[in-house]
Amino acid sequence: MTGQEMFDRGMEIRRKVLGDEYVDKALAKSGPFNEPLQELVTTYCWGWNWGREGLPLRDRSLINLAMIAVLGRENELKIHIRGALNNGLSKDEIREVLLQVGIYAGIPAAVDSFRIANEAFAQIDAEKSDDS
């Protein structure tokens, strides 16, 4: 597979997981300084990793929520909560992940992650009512 083919595969998965509207907005904001970052993220993260067959998208979302909550990367956590819903996780399953984060990475990680999850859910609900 060429780098371009891997990039294309990654872009397809990225759009499927995060939604066209979200990805279009992210790309529009991203200028030339960010080009190699976009290449890295789309090709390796979305194309190579998310494109592998060994785990379904739902399971990849499970482990991503856990890892990003532990790392304390709140912007990325919000994006991947959106992705987790698109990949078929319910709000209650997301909650279970974040509770387990509290046990294995400590209460402050859980409290912060619940705050982010609530913000993400509110934002997504607001977008839905805008559409209707």
- CA pair distance 40, 43, nearest whole angstrom: 5
- CA pair distance 66, 43, nearest whole angstrom: 22
- Binding status of residue 54 toward its own copies by CB under 8 A: yes
CB of 108 to its own copies, least distance (A): 4
- CA pair distance 99, 84, nearest whole angstrom: 16
Span of 7-15, 17-25, 59-67, 123-131 interacting with its own copies by CB under 8 A: 59-67
Nearest to 46, CA basis, from 34, 64, 69, 32: 64
- Restricting to residues 6-45, name those near its own copies by CB under 8 A: 6, 31, 33-34, 36-37, 40-41, 44-45
Q: Which two tokens stand for residue 55?
A: 């785990």
Span of 7-15, 17-25, 63-71, 124-132 interacting with its own copies by CB under 8 A: 63-71
Task: Return the number of the residue (24 or 58) whose C-beta is nearest its own copies.
Answer: 58
